[in-house]
């Protein structure tokens, strides 16, 4: 199988390449390194079945050539992170919508399979928990820039399904719920790597809001296994799947677990949302996936507990710090 991974130098894309190469796939990865890192794929550069290109998905001729080489496109490239989304809404909307449109346009020419990475953010302010794939989406008002990401990814989903229904381009949509693990950066507001970095440095752990909002954290290794199975599952075409973990935890409890696992003496501090992001910032109180559908289609169940995930992130950050001090 020949696979194109957009956002291939991102933390999910690099883990996915590791897995697919182990399954004898040939990989082409494309990334403009705006949020990805060449360090994530350094270990793959000399692999005979791995090819990478530093390029924007907005470059239509380059993407057309790459799509032509492969059987499957896994479209992970997107604007990511709450901070980036709040600070750069134009970039967020243009990257997400136009980038997906280019991928689908090129895939349509030869009916190539596209797996589109979407997000739990599309559920917006929905309050019925757990979130199911056919639930209504409750997006906040356009004057709240924070919802531009959710809205752009929802449009991506509509567009992908339209290509399937109207032009018979095979598509699969996955909604990620806080995917975490080694290689993830906290640069754009990702909570777990930030908490771990702060704890290891003995700095105060910063919680935005009151910390009672809950999230479910899916281990990247479990997530990429699901993606690898979905692209080989014919009945998954035309469907939407939640992917992640359904172990719910408050952000305050997450901070306490990080402190316990690292042995840190860090204090916890609380920062109001309007200081962290922007005035009137809105957040979702709970974000819990139903995993019934993906379990029914491919037998998916998350294998990695939250404590195990934290331990893996701590180990990774410690190894990075040790490598940095040696260089």
Which DSSP letter does residue 233 get?
-
3-state secondary structure labels for all residues of 153-201 = HHHHHHHHHHHHHHHCCCEEEEEECCEECCCCCCCCCCHHHHHHHHHHH
E strand intervals along 2-149:
2-6, 26-31, 50-54, 72-75, 113-119
User: Is the N-terminal amide bond of 130 cis, ω within 30° of 0?
Assistant: yes
Return d(Cα 177, Cα 172) in angstroms, integer.
Answer: 16
Q: Give the active site residue among 50, 149, 163, 219.
A: 149
Which DSSP letter does residue 80 get?
-
149 annotated active-site: yes
Return d(Cα 8, Cα 12) in angstroms, integer.
Answer: 8
Return d(Cα 275, Cα 227) in angstroms, integer.
Answer: 37
State the catalytic residues: 149
């Amino acid at each position: 199988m020949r696979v194109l991974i957009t956002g291939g130098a991102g933390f999910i894309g690099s883990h996915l390449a590791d897995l697919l190469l182990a399954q004898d796939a040939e990989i082409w990865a494309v990334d403009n390194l705006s949020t990805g890192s060449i360090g994530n794929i350094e270990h793959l550069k000399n692999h005979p079945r791995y090819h990478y290109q530093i390029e924007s998905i907005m470059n239509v001729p380059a993407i057309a050539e790459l799509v032509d080489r492969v059987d499957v496109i896994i479209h992970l490239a997107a604007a990511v992170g709450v901070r980036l989304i709040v600070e750069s809404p134009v970039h967020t909307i243009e990257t997400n919508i136009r980038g997906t449109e280019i991928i689908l346009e090129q895939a349509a020419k030869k009916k190539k399979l596209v797996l589109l990475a979407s997000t739990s953010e599309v559920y917006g302010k929905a309050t019925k928990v757990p979130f199911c794939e056919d639930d209504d989406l409750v997006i906040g008002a356009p004057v709240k820039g924070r919802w531009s990401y959710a809205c752009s990814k929802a449009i991506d989903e509509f567009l992908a399904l339209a290509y399937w229904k109207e032009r018979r381009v095979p598509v699969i949509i996955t909604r990620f719920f806080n995917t975490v693990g080694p290689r993830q950066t906290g640069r754009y507001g990702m909570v777990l790597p930030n908490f771990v970095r702060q704890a290891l440095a003995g700095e105060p752990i910063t919680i935005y809001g009151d910390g009672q909002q809950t999230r479910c954290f899916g281990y990247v290794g479990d997530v990429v296994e699901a993606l690898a199975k979905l692209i080989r599952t014919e009945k998954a075409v035309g469907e939407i799947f939640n992917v992640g973990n359904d172990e719910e935890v408050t952000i305050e409890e997450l901070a306490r677990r990080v402190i316990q696992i690292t042995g840190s003496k860090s204090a916890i501090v609380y920062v109001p949302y309007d200081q962290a992001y922007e005035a009137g910032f809105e957040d979702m109180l709970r974000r819990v996936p139903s995993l019934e559908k993906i379990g029914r289609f491919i037998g998916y169940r998350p294998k990695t507990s939250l404590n195990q995930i934290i331990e893996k992130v701590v180990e990774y950050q410690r190894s990075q710090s040790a490598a940095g001090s040696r260089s």
